[in-house]
Structure formats: C-alpha cells, structure tokens
C-alpha cells in the first residue's frame, strides 16, 4: 500500500492538443506534445491506480497498463471525459482548443482572391464543467495553466473560476522550452498554498503530483 498508494482509485487524465477541423484537409491545432499528460497517466498507473487517458492527436505511444481513448476535437474530448467518469482524481493536462469553426466545410476551401475569414465558436471548458459538477464530482480536480505572463496571478484566478482544487501552472514562453520539451518548471497552487517546484523532468513532475494526490486522498474519505 505504501508503494501503490493509488490502488483502488480511478484517475482520469486528459492530454495533448485538440484538432478542430476547418475543411477535410485542414485543422486548427496548438503546440502541445502530450508529454506531461502522458507522464501523469504513467505515474498514476505506477502508483496502482486504474487510469483512463483521454488524448488528442500526439506522436507518443499509448502508455502501458492504461485505458487510452483517442479523440480529435474538444467536443469529442468532453464526451469521452463524461463517459469515463466517475473518477477519484481528474487531471486536465490537455491543451484544448478554445475555439472551433462554426461549421466544417464539406469540401476543401479554394483560393478566391478575396480576404478569407473563419467563423469561430467557443469550445466547452471541460475542466470548468467537471470542476463545477454538483454530483459525481471527482474528489480531486487538477487543472493546468500554461501561461506566458503573470503565471502566479493567472493560476490563482483559473483555480477559482474553473472550480479546480489544484492548478499546476507553468511558463510556456518560448525561451523556457516547455512546449515539446522534456522538463518543466511548475508552481502548484492549492486552496491554501502556492509552491514553486524546481526545474524537473516531466516524469518527475508527474510522480510528485500523483504522490501528492495520493496523500490528499489518504487524508479524506475513501470514494467507492
């Protein structure tokens, strides 16, 4: 039990980017590699949890011993998360596209000489929805905040506005090399504390985070 403190727990993790189709050959995407989210899924499984990983398109192999659900769009990711609740711990590491096209063109768009425009609509906030669930909310809801400025302020604001228990905040401005890289310098913001962690590998961030989650659950009431 010491070595497998998440035994009997279900951990749900989102990872990677989402792809929002524009037409049959084009999509909107972002620079998320999925490395941190996949590392969290591996770490949780290593600590004994049953793990469901809902991932957007990434170049990474499926982690062993983890149930992996592959999705493309934010709406698909949201549905996959809903279908795979309840969970004891839910970690939202995916870089979900904020917008999708209002309607996907059925044929490839052609150049016309005009100034082209895309009609965008907002995607559902998956973390925000799960964080504010009135029934069936996970015992511990963890979000990420990838910021390029005012990391501490944004993390605290997002924790509250999204109903998360913890926010793992990181600086993803270009010189940090966090996007796509193997290391991460994060700040863990909880209801009553904020800790700056030293630069760590994404595997080490994942392990520490899941160990903290296990400690947190150990103190509270056990879920079914």
Judged by CB, which is closer to ligand C5P: 48, or 143? 143
Q: What CA–CA distance (Å, rounded) separates 5 from 14? A: 21
DSSP letter string, 80-139: HHHHH---SEEEE--B--SEEESS--SS-----SS-----EEEPP-HHHHHHT-SSS--S
131 touches 164 (CB < 8 A): yes
- Whether 170 sits among the annotated catalytic residues: the reply is no
Q: Residue 127, annotated ligand binder?
A: yes
Residue list 1-40, contact with ligand C5P (CB under 6 A) = 14
Minimum CB distance to ligand C5P, residue 91 (Å): 8
- Burial grade of 59 (CB within 10 A; 0-12, 13-18, 19 or more): exposed
Residue 94 interacting with ligand C5P (CB under 6 A): yes
Q: Which of 88, 125, 165, 203 binds ligand C5P (CB under 6 A)?
A: 125
Judged by CB, which is closer to ligand C5P: 44, or 96? 96
Phi-psi region of 155 (alpha: psi -120 to 50; beta: other; left: phi over 0): alpha
Residue 96 interacting with ligand C5P (CB under 6 A): yes
Residue 169 interacting with ligand C5P (CB under 6 A): no
Judged by CB, which is closer to ligand C5P: 49, or 77? 77
Binding span for ligand C5P by CB under 6 A among 92-100, 175-183, 187-195, 212-220:
92-100
Contacts of 118 (CB under 8 A, 6+ apart): 22, 101
90 half-sphere exposure, CB direction, 13 A CA radius: 27
Q: Which of 74, 205, 207, 214 binds ligand C5P (CB under 6 A)?
A: 74
Site residues (vs ligand C5P, CB under 6 A): 14, 74, 92, 94, 96, 123-127, 143-145, 158, 162
| Binding-site residue ranges for CTP | 98, 108, 124-127, 144, 158, 162
């Amino acid at each position: 039990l010491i070595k497998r403190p998440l035994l009997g727990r279900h951990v749900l993790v989102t990872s990677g980017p989402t792809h929002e189709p524009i037409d049959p050959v084009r999509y909107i995407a972002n620079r998320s590699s999925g490395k941190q989210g996949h590392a969290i899924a591996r770490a949780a499984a290593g600590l004994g949890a049953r793990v469901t990983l809902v991932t957007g398109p990434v170049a990474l192999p499926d982690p062993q011993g983890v149930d992996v659900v592959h999705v493309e769009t934010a709406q698909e990711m949201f549905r996959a998360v809903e279908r795979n609740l309840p969970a004891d711990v839910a970690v939202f590491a995916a870089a979900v596209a904020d917008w999708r096209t209002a309607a996907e063109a059925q044929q490839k768009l052609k150049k016309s000489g005009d100034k082209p425009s895309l009609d965008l609509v907002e995607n559902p906030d998956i973390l925000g929805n799960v964080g504010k669930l009135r029934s069936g909310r996970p015992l511990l809801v963890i979000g990420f905040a990838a910021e390029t400025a005012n990391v501490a302020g944004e993390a605290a604001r997002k924790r509250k506005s999204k109903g998360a228990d913890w926010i793992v905040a990181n600086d993803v401005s270009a010189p940090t090399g966090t996007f796509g890289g193997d290391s991460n310098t994060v700040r863990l913001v909880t209801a009553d504390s904020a800790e700056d962690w030293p630069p760590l590998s994404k595997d080490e961030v994942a392990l520490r985070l899941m160990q903290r989650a296990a400690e947190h659950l150990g103190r509270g009431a056990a879920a079914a």
